[in-house]
Structure 1
Amino acid sequence: AVRGRVFVLPQPVPQWLSKSFVKRTNRVRDGKLHLFYPAADYSHKNHLLLSKIDEPEAWPVEQLTLTIDPLKNPDNTWSSISCVGLINSDQMLSFYRSCDALLFLSNEESFGFPLVEAMFCGLPILCPDLPYARTLCGDEAIYFEADNVQSLQSAIMELANRLDAGWWPNWEGALESIPCSWETVAEEMLKITTNK
């Protein structure tokens, strides 16, 4: 019913990030993964997928940082999960400088800022195989089925193996579709409405 009436428009990189010097080209440490998921505790952000993990010690993850209240930790049995609550832009930059990849679990997304931010920083991305993510990330992200914990585990294992083999993503192609400003986004919206 809505075919041809829904449009996905990328958004620009936030100013606090575009003015930073965070440009990653490799890992900062060897060993198990350090993953970062910056998202509020809304149900569509899918944090509860982590509560379905059995045998977390089998996952190649040393640290998974979530930006939710520690009381909302989806899996208290997994010592690798760290819930740090709401963080500011300087703290975001610190995590982007130090993590191995962005983990994005969201089942639905309106803007997907962390995906754009991670691409701008040059980070690997693990995200659901959903249209919003494919539109932004193309073929360079590592995808998993949104509500399938085994698929998530396979994606994390694939990331670990790729990084061990020296792989790092190249986001140049995907970033070409990212507008330089909100004015550009507004112009695209106007084009859509006037071409109806």
Structure 2
Amino acid sequence: MMGSAAPKFVIAGAPASSVFQSYETSEPEANSVTDKIVFTGRLSDEEIAGLYAGATALLFPSLYEGFGIPPLEAMLLGCPVLASDIPPTREVCGDAALFFDPLRPEDMARAINEILHNPEHRAKMIERGHLRAQEFSWDRSAGRLLDIVEQL
């Protein structure tokens, strides 16, 4: 595991999540991970874009997704993606993400360490992410839908 060299994690979103409740209410003296975790609450699109721009990577440990907008946003903005190895994130990210088993913390730690300690791989993921994100656009989606409707 990463130990004291663990990076800082920024968790964006609604603050009421019971998943993180114990960390939010803990005193720093009682929980040594609190100085490594920042809870932002809800953010504007501009603030989220700023986080992606300054982040080492997006860590997306989702167990269930309908589509997976955050990984797509991150790739579009040049932020490498570490994502759960589940079908929706595989479909969105293709070969542009580093996948991990979200039920195995050691596998998530492996992915985090890979992105932290292998700058060449990180650079390749940024490049692949840009290419992958270009495959998704409103115009392209509308065109595909129109093609399907015309075939009916």
The corresponding residue for 2:62 is 106
Q: 1:139 aligns to what SS in structure 2?
A: coil
Instruction: List, as ranges, runs of 4+ consecutive aligned residues in structure 1 with deviation greater than 6 Å.
Output: none
Root mean square deviation of aligned Cα: 2.6
Which residue in 2 is equivalent to 1:32? none
5+ long unaligned stretches in structure 2: 24-30
Choose between structure 1 and 2: higher helix proportion: 2
- Seq. identity, %: 23
CA distance in 1, matches of 2:121, 2:90: 24
Counterpart amino acid of residue 66 in structure 1: I
Within 5 Å, which residues of 2 pair with 1:24-173? 58=3, 60-67=5-12, 68-69=14-15, 72=18, 73=20, 76=23, 77=31, 78-79=33-34, 80-163=36-119, 167-168=122-123, 169=125, 170-171=127-128, 172-173=130-131
Structure 1 residue runs of 5 or longer lacking an equivalent are 1-54
Count how many residue pairs are aligned between Structure 1 and Structure 2.
Answer: 138
Distance 2:98 2:92 in 1: 13
Q: Report the CA distance shift for 1:141/1:109 in structure 2 as closer, same or farther (over 3 A).
A: same
**Higher relative contact order, chain-length normalized (CA < 8 Å, sep 6+):** 1
Q: TM-score, normalised by structure 1?
A: 0.60
Is the contact made by 1:125 and 1:141 (CA closer than 8 Å) also made in structure 2? yes
SS where residue 67 of structure 2 aligns? coil
Q: Which amino acid aligns with 1:83?
A: F
